[in-house]
Structure 1
């Protein structure tokens, strides 16, 4: 078993993400925390365990992990003869917003992990940093925590094969279709048919995968294309660009453009072309 608790300075605590504790190949004991603790990622390496939190009981097997949110009561324990885990404890003023807004996780839970090797490598990397004589260990460990969180968004989910990466792969035909047909009318029914999802399920999956509603994404693609045309054709009228980009109304195009870019199409063209 390996464990390392770093010295945490005031400078470290001002980082958006910082490491508090890390361990690997740990024979997990029974833990009860009535008032919770810091943010924790605890990954099952061997055996099985159970997590009780928020009135729910989760069973964790190899290839799964639990994410425990700061200050949330929880209990976890082995249900096999031994339960081996790797874990990392962290905090920082951006951790909570990142987990809620980027990962879409609002409560402590168990997660299926499609690439468990990535998370184990982050934990080993943190241990190596802390056991070395490298300078600025707090900064380096902050990078490890951030990398773990971004991988959590991509490769972890509450249901098997529902990670953002898996869902992104399922949506690729739709992304390709939007890219090629952005200038045409795009209905929810048509897009659902392309993916094989129902319209309602497509909206749910798309939001989870991209953190955007589907028509927000279409607007982003259309505005990107309009920006290319604004610069490539400096004498083309705005209403022509709006129509080419898939907007029926030029005023609406200008409204969407300004909302996304904070400037008007004409101002954008002037900034880049003078």
Structure 2
């Protein structure tokens, strides 16, 4: 496995490519591509990794992924669950800002050009923009040729003029220049962590996955992510805990703590508050209050 240099389907034929996914799972490999990517999550949840940043994603989230930014949406269902009617649903809009450069030189499109040029990293748009963007995305996926390009222009005209609230997914370090060997190693680390976060992962075990000594692994991971492996592991665990806390099941906080790999509730509460800045109980209260508005 490696950071795959993903080729957008029929990218040589169109300036704007729209891909709709209705599948059991999201594309589960760390990958990158030259095109910028606008993604709307219509259905599904999981963990998003962009560079060295991680967070949960959910229905109605909107992301713009920077060009050549290693990323992965990790989430989905088993084949049996898919057969029973469960699926993820997302629409991705890919576009190469260099290919559109001449088109964007027209005076009428200067605001769009400025906005696209400002996208130096990946961002998440505020959910307040979802009511407008969702129908536009759905319309865009069913169009082709000039109609698609015009709808894309209209959508980005809205983003350029109206979007004032967004969240940066950049943590101050760029992983865009991964070598292939580094990409293979980092993807192995990410994949193993996401698939086994609920278990005890020793430094010796994850170092072996990376084919390194524990000491070399610690230095390597910190150099490439500016965080310790334990910090990354805890982020993955807390992301999953957040989903479970809001899932509406009868599971207690202590049960969720153990289910996500923590060996005691005190440690879980401490790490949860450090990452989210609120306690698990307050996190649930905030969600319930927000849904009443």
TM-score tier by shorter-chain length is: 0.3 to 0.5
Work out which structure has the larger RCO, using CA pairs closer than 8 Å and 6 or more positions apart in sequence. Answer: 2
Normalised by the length of structure 2, the TM-score is: 0.42
